[in-house]
Each structure stands twice: as C-alpha cells, then as structure tokens.
C-alpha cells in the first residue's frame, strides 16, 4: 500500500473540496474533508475500475449515498483520471457545469447514480448488488467469471436516519447480499447540531439484527480500513456495514467536528487557516499535491490492466459459450426484442380486469425475455405480477420474481439500482394509492431517465369497501405532472397488451401502468390501426358518420362507461380512449385536431381528480371526474354515489 501517496490524495481532496465550496459560496465541505482518506483508499487501491473507461461493465460500483458531499466524489474522479477536468471543479454548482450541487447520473463521467435525497443511494446500491448476483448466476461458468464485482456505498448519519435506508438494509440482509459493502461515516453531526439531539440508537446492533456483518474502525487508518474491506469481501453470505469514526471537516482548525462545517463554506479566513494547518500555501487555490498526480499516473496502467485481464476472460468465455454470449448481447443492448412475445389474445366481449390482463402479458414477456424481472411490495396475488420463473433468493439468484415485502419506498430505489446497473429490465408493483410511498424514487427515475415500469393496480374508487384510504383519486394526476413520466391507463385487455409494449419500448424513462381491480369488457375499435395510433396517446374507439356532435374522452375503466353513455345519448358521439394524456398532448396539432376536432364539444370521464383535464374538456361542466376523496362501500354503490353511471354521463353530452 502506498501510504504516502494516499495521504497526498487525501490532502488534495480536502483542498479541492473546501475551495470548490468556497468559490461557489454554497455546498457541503464537511463530509469530503472528513472522509478524504477513505476516498483515497477506494479510488487508489480498492475499486476495480478504469477511469479511462467509466462504462466498463465489470467495474466495481461506488455510490455516494450522502450526495450532499459531492465534492468528495468530484475531487476523486478528477484526481484518478475520469473525464472531469479541474476547470469543472472550479465551476462547482454553476449552471451547466459537470459538477452540479449533487451528483447526477449521465451528466458527470464516473457518477453511478443521482443522489442527494438521503438514503436513495443506499437503496440504489442494494439494487446494483441484486443485479450483479442475478447476472453472475446467469452468465458465469465454472471456467470463466465475467460478472465479478462489488458494490460500495458511502452513507452518513442522515442516511442512517432515513426510513428508506432501513427498508433497503432489511431486505439486503434477508437476501444475503455478500457483495454489498457500505461505509458509514459516523461523525455524529447533522445540520442542527450533534446527533445526540435526535439519534442515539446503536446503528451497529440494528444492522446486526438485519443480518449484516458489522465492522468498526478509524477513518484515518489506511491499513485498518483496508483490512476491514478484506474482511467484508471475505464474508460472502452477508452484506457488510463498515462503521468508520470520523471528524467532519477534518483539517479545519476552528470548525472541524462542528455542525458549522456541514453545509456551509468555511469562509475566507478559515480557508486560509485550514491551508496553513494542512501545510498548503495560503494562496494556493484548488491545490493538488504533486505526489497525488504522480500516484494516479503510476496507477493508470494498473487500472487498464484490470480491464484487459477481464476482457481476455470475457473473450475466452464468449468463444466457449456462444449461446450465452448471444444472450449477453441481447440483455446488454438495452432495447428488448419484442418479436418473440406471444401476447394474450382477446375477442370483443371478453371480460377481464386490466390487472389480470397485465399479469397474463407479464408471463408472456418473461417467457420471451430472459432478463425481464421484478416484483411486488407483498401484493403479488393482487397485482398479478408473478412471472412463473422462480423467486429470487440467496439460494436462487436465478429467480426472477423479487419479493420486496412491505417496503414500497425501498422497492422504488432498488428498482432504480437494478436499472442503473445494466443488463436487466425491471418492474415493481403495488396499489396505485401507495405510489405516494415511492414517489421520491419515481421522481429520481425520471430525472435519470431509467426504463423502470411501475405496475399500479386498484386504480380507482372501484376498490370499494377498502374505502378512501385505498381509493386513489389524485394519484394519476400526481404521476402525470412529473417531467418525463409516461402514465398509461388501458381500458381493456387488448389495450393492456399494447401498454406493456409501449413500456418495454421506452428506454429513456419510466412508465406507470394504472390497472383496474374490476373486470372490463373488451370493446370493438373503430380505428383499424388503433395499436399504432394508441402509441400517440389516444385513438378513436367509436366513430360516427360525418362530424360528431360530441367527442367523449375516457381513460381506463371509463371507456366502457363512455360507450354505454354514447349509445343512450341520442347524439352523434365519438368515443376516444386516451390511455396517455401527456403523450397525446405532445403530438402535433394536426393529430390532436383529428382526434378532437375544433368547434366540437369535448366531454371527459375519468375516476381521478378533475385537475389536468382543462386542456381537453370544453369547459368545467363537461367533466365527470372526482372532486373529493372516495367513500367506503361496495363498488357498485360507490360508483352510483359519485355518478359514474351511463345515465349521468349521458346528461353531459
């Protein structure tokens, strides 16, 4: 181990971090300064990575769960040779720079995930470790290991307080993810002061109860930390938590160890004092120790050799197992081949809940796509998400149904981690009303443009007796307003097949499927090319001769309602199914006018809140939507109580 060189790297991390924050007059210098030794050890000696190729598939993953300490990561990426020049560190937190306030996936070379919301990165790391184990079980042979890497994460006291971290840690321990190693920066400081004011539990005992190996050491002992990492790697049956005692803002003579250094610049005078304390010239901004530069220059060949050695193993494996190599290429392509899927077939008049139709479609997808996997938050019998491909477990890493347990928040974060890792196409599922529990990871999935599919069943007041706590009314709209999100609410079994096709075809963001508990009849489609047209968000289900008197737009279960209302209205009513309003509104004006002719009254029916339909309905009186929470009672009674019956809708036409 090159102790002197690692000390030079740590010194450089402290200098770059405090100066980046000071120049921006914004940021968090405490963690980078407090954890500099760990960063030096990881990026210099521990991680299997190649800064010259950040996309090398078998690299170790490092997740900065405590994303507020982003200068820690940026400093190390620059020093170790990733495509992050010093000029970008000098533009920390400035518009358009490669060093945003919190790490952003797809924006900065070497950043594995977008972090900042505390605990989100921890859950992503759990997902990455799951993905590694599944791919290893699939592709490794007794002669060749082509998937053989670890997932590391750095979490702070804030991460450890967050509920998502507890959920994810519990599942990781249950699954025995031995290739997951988390460092806990235990500095006992939060924004408001010492953690004693809010956080006095034994984190070590909690993680032991989660079935983790817990190791403890000193953040500033290179040899000690290296030994702990080796112990963690040697424990194949449990994830490891390495608790490292640290001093936040280490090196600052007047602010180290205090909450003052957590989330604010040191200040001009303290920066100078810190430079003096560290042995850096007082006027040397963005100082980098020459020994650190020379160290990483000397490591460059080693990093490349590690990738070259893997490539040689991979090439030998590909030659020995051509069929596995073919599957590897398919899985890694990112765009699934849907041509082999035998979709469920329906005829007009068939009756099925769209959750059931989705379940049938998912089994067909899983039979054709070997990397399609995911699971439900303890609701598989209700969500209909069983794939018939075995359960993933510590004993069976080849299983493709994940049992998340009642952990919706962590489920969303873990699904993001699986998608980030690469090689697998994932979904997760719960009731639509519980999308609220996983909204933060849904938002992050959109921010990172991850192709995760959310299966949200029990999508309306037709949940019935479970009452307003379980009847989603605002949730469709709350998902639609997330930038990048595609929400699909199919109206029958045939539309559900196409909705799944659309979800799998989308590679630049997530898709939410809103699915019914109650049965819906398959209806005749006037548009003979409706499967293509539906991809634009809406199509004509029932057409009339000439110009319609009214256009009746509906989504999901309300399409059947709309057809009945149109038949009894006595008017020329065009019925439009609009499974994805936001997709429809993105189309050109000519298409929108072809579906919704100008000057023709437009009425909307949906069992969600009225908000958002202002741009579709002709006026406020042309909408049959929810304007309150639901009520508890049999579905039919609730339906009548809120007026979702043909006679009532017909009056609006």
pLDDT digits (tens, 9 = 90+) for 221-265: 999 999 999 999 999 999 999 999 999 999 999 999 999 999 999
State the pLDDT at residue 1.
83
Mean pLDDT of the residues in the chain: 97
State the pLDDT at residue 390.
97
Q: Could you list the active site residues? A: 408
pLDDT band at 116 (very low <50, low <70, confident <90, very high): very high
* Tens digit of each residue's pLDDT (9 = 90 or more) over 189-199: 898 989 999 99
* Tens digit of each residue's pLDDT (9 = 90 or more) over 47-56: 999 999 999 9
Treating both helix axes as pointing N-terminal to C-terminal, what angle do 120-139 and 163-175 enclose, rounded to 10 degrees? 20
* Tens digit of each residue's pLDDT (9 = 90 or more) over 157-189: 999 999 999 999 999 999 999 999 999 999 998
* Tens digit of each residue's pLDDT (9 = 90 or more) over 123-166: 999 999 999 999 999 999 999 999 999 999 999 999 999 999 99
* Tens digit of each residue's pLDDT (9 = 90 or more) over 520-538: 999 999 999 999 999 999 9
* Tens digit of each residue's pLDDT (9 = 90 or more) over 405-452: 999 999 999 999 999 999 999 999 999 999 999 999 999 999 999 999
* Tens digit of each residue's pLDDT (9 = 90 or more) over 256-302: 999 999 999 999 999 999 999 999 998 999 999 999 999 999 999 99
- CB < 8 Å & 24+ apart, contacts of 619-622: 621/652, 622/652
Across the range 104-124, mean pLDDT stands at 98
Across the range 614-639, mean pLDDT stands at 96
577: three-class secondary structure by DSSP: strand
Q: Cα-flanking dihedrals φ and ψ of residue 430, to 5°?
A: -165, -175
Res 556 pLDDT > 90: yes
Burial 348-385 (b: 16+ CB within 10 A, else e): eebebbbbbbbbbbbbbbbebbebbbbbbbbbbeebbb
Residues 503, 549: Cα–Cα separation, whole Å:
34
Neighbouring C-beta atoms of residue 403, cutoff 10 Å: 16
Percent of the chain residues topping a pLDDT of 70: 100
Percent of the chain residues topping a pLDDT of 90: 98
């Amino acid at each position: 181990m090159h102790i002197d060189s690692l000390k030079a790297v740590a010194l450089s991390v402290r200098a770059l971090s405090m100066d980046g924050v000071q120049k921006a007059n914004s940021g968090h210098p405490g963690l980078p300064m407090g954890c500099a030794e760990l960063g030096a050890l990881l990026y210099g000696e521990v991680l299997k990575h190649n800064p010259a190729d950040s996309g090398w598939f078998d690299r170790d993953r490092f997740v900065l769960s405590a994303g507020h300490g982003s200068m820690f990561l940026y400093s190390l990426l620059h020093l170790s040779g990733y495509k992050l020049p010093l000029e970008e560190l000098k533009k920390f937190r400035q518009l358009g720079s490669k060093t945003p306030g919190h790490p952003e996936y797809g924006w900065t070379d070497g950043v594995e995930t977008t972090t900042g919301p505390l605990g989100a990165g921890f859950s992503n790391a759990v997902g990455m470790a799951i993905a590694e184990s599944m791919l290893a079980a699939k592709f490794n042979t007794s002669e060749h290991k082509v998937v053989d890497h670890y997932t590391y994460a750095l979490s702070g006291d804030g991460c450890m307080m967050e509920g998502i971290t507890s959920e994810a840690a519990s599942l990781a321990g249950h699954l025995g993810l031995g290739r997951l190693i988390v460092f806990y920066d235990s500095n006992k400081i939060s924004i408001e002061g010492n953690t004693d004011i809010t956080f006095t539990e034994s984190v070590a005992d909690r993680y032991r109860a989660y079935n983790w190996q817990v190791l403890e050491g000193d953040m500033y002992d290179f040899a000690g930390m290296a030994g702990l990492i080796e112990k963690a790697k040697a424990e194949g049956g449990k994830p490891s938590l390495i608790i490292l005692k640290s001093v936040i803002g280490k090196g600052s003579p007047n602010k180290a160890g205090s909450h003052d250094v957590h989330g604010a610049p040191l200040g001009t005078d303290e920066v100078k004092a810190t430079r003096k304390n560290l042995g850096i010239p007082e006027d040397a901004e963005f100082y980098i120790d020459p020994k650190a530069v020379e160290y990483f220059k000397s490591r460059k060949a080693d990093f490349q050799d590690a990738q070259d050695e893997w490539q040689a193993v991979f090439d030998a494996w590909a030659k020995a197992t051509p069929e596995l190599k073919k599957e590897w290429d398919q899985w890694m392509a990112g765009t699934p081949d849907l041509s082999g899927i035998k979709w469920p077939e329906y005829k007009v008049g068939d009756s099925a809940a769209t959750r059931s139709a989705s379940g049938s479609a998912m089994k067909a997808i899983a039979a054709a796509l070997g990397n399609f996997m995911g699971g439900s938050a303890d609701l598989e019998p209700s969500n209909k998400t069983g794939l018939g491909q075995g359960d993933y477990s510590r004993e069976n890493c080849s299983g493709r149904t994940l049992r998340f347990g009642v952990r919706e928040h962590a489920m969303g974060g873990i699904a993001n981690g699986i998608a980030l890792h690469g090689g697998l196409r994932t979904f997760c599922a719960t009731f639509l009303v519980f999308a609220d529990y996983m909204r933060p990871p849904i938002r992050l999935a959109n921010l990172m443009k991850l192709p995760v599919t959310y299966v949200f069943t029990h999508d309306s007041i037709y949940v019935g007796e479970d009452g307003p706590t379980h009847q989603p009314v605002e949730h469709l709209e709350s998902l639609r307003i997330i930038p990048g999100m595609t929400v699909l609410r199919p109206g029958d079994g045939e539309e559900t097949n196409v909705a799944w096709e659309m979800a799998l075809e989308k590679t630049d963001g997530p898709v939410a499927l809103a699915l019914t508990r109650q049965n819906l009849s398959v209806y005749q489609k006037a548009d003979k090319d409706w499967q293509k047209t539906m991809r634009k968000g809406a199509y004509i289900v029932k057409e009339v001769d000439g110009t319609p008197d009214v256009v009746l737009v509906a989504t999901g279960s309300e399409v059947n309602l709309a057809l009945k209302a149109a038949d009894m209205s006595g008017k020329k009513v065009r019925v439009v199914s609009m499974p994805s309003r936001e997709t429809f509104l993105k189309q050109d004006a000519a298409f929108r006018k072809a579906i919704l002719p100008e000057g023709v009254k437009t009425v909307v029916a949906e069992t969600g809140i009225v908000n958002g339909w202002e741009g579709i309905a002709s006026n406020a009186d042309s909408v049959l939507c929810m304007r309150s929470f639901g009520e508890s009672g049999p579905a039919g009674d609730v339906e009548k109580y809120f007026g979702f019956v043909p006679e009532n809708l017909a009056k609006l036409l």
